[in-house]
Amino acid sequence: MSLVYVIDGYNIIHHPAFSKSSNKVRIPPQELLRLIRTKRLCGKNRATVVFDGYPPAQEAVHGDDEIGVVFSKDHSADEKIKILVERARNPKNIVVVSDDNEVKFIAKALGAKVLGVEQFISQEQKSRAKAKETAEIELTYSQMEAINKELRKIWLK
């Protein structure tokens, strides 16, 4: 089963790692959604980005099939995240992204996984590095045959 990311939107927007990788021209919530989409920070998993308060009056912030957008309105985003994790059918499939200690504690207590903001934003770079490592480890057919031959000698004595 795929994972569902529940992301504390303004927690990421106010983090220094976000300002390094974002475009200052756009409205921050829109920029966060663009960053998540373009860098595939959630992989092929769905995400729900939770923002405090109401949508900005300047422009609407819309999600899509992959990324849902929720504004907490009269509640805090932290409270809304807690409710989303509590109501989840299987909290083990949820990854909560926040640096807020209370949110992380509650998410873990409910069985969800937790990622810090910096870990989340740098995921794309790590996955590229991992792909590069994997590419470097690829063996030719003759190399695989030689390894299999050696293993057969050891195991089939």
Domain of 131 in residue numbering reads as 124-157
The string over 66-103, giving b where at least 16 C-beta atoms fall within 10 Å of a residue's C-beta and e elsewhere, is: ebbbbbbeeeebbebbbebbeebeebeebbbbbbbeeb
73 and 49 belong to one structural domain: yes
Task: Please name the residue that has the structure tokens 């909290």.
Answer: 91
Write the pLDDT tens digit of every residue in 17-68.
777 666 655 678 888 888 888 888 998 899 999 999 888 776 666 677 789 9
58 and 89 belong to one structural domain: yes
Predicted pLDDT at 49: 94
Alpha carbons 13 and 138: distance in angstroms, whole number: 39
77 and 25 belong to one structural domain: yes
Predicted pLDDT at 54: 85
35 and 90 belong to one structural domain: yes
CATH number of 88's domain? 3.40.50
Write the pLDDT tens digit of every residue in 95-154.
999 999 999 999 999 999 999 999 898 875 555 545 555 556 677 888 888 888 888 888
Alpha carbons 7 and 98: distance in angstroms, whole number: 7
154 and 107 belong to one structural domain: no
